[in-house]
Amino acid sequence: MIENLLKNKTGKERATLKGKEIAKVATKRKTTRGSIKIKILEINAIEGGVEVFAQAWDLQGNQYGFGKDGSIDIERFRIFNPPVLVNDPNGEIVREVVDETNGETQQITLREDLKEALLQSLDHTISIVKKDGSNIVKGKIGNTTSTFYPAAGSVAPVDGRVQRESVNESYSTIHNGTGTAASDSDSLISMILSASSTTDQYSALARFICGFDTSSIDDGDNIDSATLSLYGFDRSTGLGDTDIDIVASTPASTNTLVNSDYAQLGTTRFATGVAISAFATSAYEDYTLNANGLANISKTTYSFFGARRKWDVDNSFTGTWASSAFTRIRFYSADQAGTTSDPKLVVTHSAGANANFLAFM
C-alpha cells in the first residue's frame, strides 16, 4: 500500500510521491464518472502532485469547453497533494470518529484506489469549471485548472477546528471570548453551536480554518475563478437554521492550530453563504469565490480560509434557544487523510498570452 511508502516523509515529499504512483496507474482512455465522460490524454508526475491533460463530455456526447470563454478543448488539470483513498462500505481501511454530543463512535470505511481517486477528483473539478462547448477551438490547450488539498495532521498547510467550549455564558461572551480548544487531527470538523441548560446560555462555539499551498500558481498568471469545496457528513438545526460562510483566516502557524487562533477569522464574506439545512451531505458543497475571495489566493505561499456560521460572522444569534440543543454542520477534514472528500480549492488561472495548440496522437 502507498501509505507504507509515505511514512516518515514531509508533506511535500508525500504529495510528490503520491503523484508519481498515480501517474503509473492512470489509464489514458475515456471513462465515465457520475454524469461526465473523461478522456485522459496525457498524465505526468509533478512536484507536489500530478498533471493531467484531459477532455470531457456529458452523457449525451456533447463536449465541454474550458477556460473563461469555453474555447479550451484540452484542459491541463494539476492536482496537488492528490487523494489516494475512496469511500467504500466494504473497504479494509477503517477510520473512527466520535460524536461529541453523545460520545458515540462512528466508523468510516475506505479503500486505497489511486486510479479511482484520480477520476473522482477530476469528475468533481470538471463539474465546477466546465463550460458549454459551442466555442471550442480544436486542439486548444488550457493554461491550467489547479486543485489544491490541505495536509493532514500538524503539517503545513494545516486545517482544523478552533473552539470555545466547556463554558456557560451568553452568546456575546462565547463569541468574543478567547479560544479554549484547537485540533488539527479531527477526521470530521464539527462546527457546532451548543446551548447549555441555563436559559440563553451556550456551552460551545466552533470555527474552521483551512490552508492550501497555492504557491505553484505562476506569479504572472491571472486568477480567473476559484471554488472552495467542503464535503458534508451530517447536519442539525436544533437551535435554528443559519448559513455557513467562507471568510479569511490568519492562524499563528501554518502547520498547527492553537487556542488563540479562535480569534483569527475574518468577517468579510468570500462567497454566498449556504444554509445548514441545504448543505450537502455525502457530497461536496461548492462555494464560488467572489472578488474578495479571489484576492485572498496567494501565488507565493499558503492561502488560508475559514468557515463560520452567519450568526458568528454577524455576532447576532437569531435562532431559538433550547436547553442543551445544538446547531451543527459536520464535514470532512484533510485528516480523513488523502481521500476524495478532503477540503479542496479549485483555481482556474491563465497566463494571458496566446493559447498553445497541441494535437495528441
pLDDT higher than 70, residue 356: no
pLDDT higher than 90, residue 2: no
pLDDT higher than 50, residue 180: yes
Confidence grade of residue 252 (pLDDT, cut at 50, 70, 90)? very high
Task: Quick: pLDDT tens for 296-305.
Answer: 999 999 999 9
User: Which residue bears the cell 497533494?
Assistant: 81
C-alpha neighbours within 13 Å on the C-beta side of residue 207: 36
Question: 314 versus 351: which is more confidently predicted?
Answer: 314
pLDDT higher than 80, residue 361: no
Question: In this predicted structure, what is the pLDDT of residue 354?
Answer: 44
Give the C-alpha separation, 350 to 223, whole Å: 7
Indicate whether 282 belongs to any domain: yes
Domain that holds residue 76: 2-83+118-149+352-357
**What DSSP line would sit under 44-76, residue for residue?**
EEETTEEEEEEEEEETTSPBPBBSTTS-BSBEE
| Phi, psi dihedral angles at 306 (to 5 degrees) | -140, 165
Of 169, 304, 149, whose CA–CA distance to 230 is shortest? Answer: 149
Domain count, the chain: 2
Confidence grade of residue 337 (pLDDT, cut at 50, 70, 90)? low
SS3 for 27?
A: coil
248 close to 296: Cβ distance less than 8 angstroms:
yes
Q: Are 173 and 46 found together in one domain?
A: no
Task: Quick: pLDDT tens for 22-31.
Answer: 999 877 889 9
Give the C-alpha separation, 140 to 70, whole Å: 10
Indicate whether 99 belongs to any domain: no
Question: What is the percentage of the chain residues whose pLDDT exceeds 70?
Answer: 96
Question: In this predicted structure, what is the pLDDT of residue 7?
Answer: 74
Indicate whether 17 belongs to any domain: yes
Q: Are 129 and 177 found together in one domain?
A: no
275 by Cβ neighbours in 10 Å (0-12 / 13-18 / 19+) ranks as middle
347 close to 148: Cβ distance less than 8 angstroms:
yes
Mean local confidence (pLDDT), 265-274: 98
pLDDT higher than 50, residue 215: yes
pLDDT higher than 70, residue 338: no
Indicate whether 226 belongs to any domain: yes
Q: Are 210 and 145 found together in one domain?
A: no
Q: Are 201 and 70 found together in one domain?
A: no
Of 124, 90, 163, 117, whose CA–CA distance to 22 is shortest? Answer: 117
Give the C-alpha separation, 42 to 142, whole Å: 13
Indicate whether 230 belongs to any domain: yes
What are the Cα distances from residue 272, in Å, to 82, 264, 291, 361?
27, 21, 12, 43
What are the Cα distances from residue 134, in Å, to 111, 130, 171?
39, 12, 53
